[in-house]
Amino acid sequence: METIIAEEGKYFFGLSFEPTLQVWMLHNDVVVDNHWTKSDYNLIKDKLEFVKQDLRSRGITEVYALVDNKKSLKYNKVFGFLPTGDVALDEDGIINIITKLEI
């Protein structure tokens, strides 16, 4: 996996290619203290815009992400990822909702 942008203890955005499905996967992790604040939202929004610009410069027009819980699904929706209606098992056998972001 390639790290696109990260700050330890705050956020991480990474990219990998899924050869079986032939799609780009965006991996992200956001660390928030107790609850989301407007500054947390604005920070991640800005970082995601940087990621999207980077992906566009590479000719990548869509990315997918796996979501394993309702809280993460809500987070993904807030930032433009939409459920595809499909699910997948991860390496640990956990069922994940597949979401898609058009760039």
Distance CA 101, CA 103 (A): 6
Domain total of the chain: 1
CATH value at residue 24: 3.40.630.30
Average pLDDT, the chain: 94
Question: What average pLDDT score do residues 89-103 get?
Answer: 94
Q: Is the pLDDT of residue 33 over 80?
A: no
Predicted confidence at residue 62, as pLDDT, reads 98
Full-model pTM: 0.90
* Kind and range of the H or E run holding 34: none
Boundaries of domain holding 44: 2-102
The better pLDDT of the pair 67, 36 is held by 67
Check residue 84 and give its pLDDT.
97
pLDDT class of 24 with cuts at 50, 70, 90: very high
Q: How far apart are CA 25 and CA 30, in angstroms?
A: 16
Interacting residues of 15 by C-beta distance below 8 A, sequence separation 6+: 1, 2, 4, 24, 25, 26, 27, 55, 63
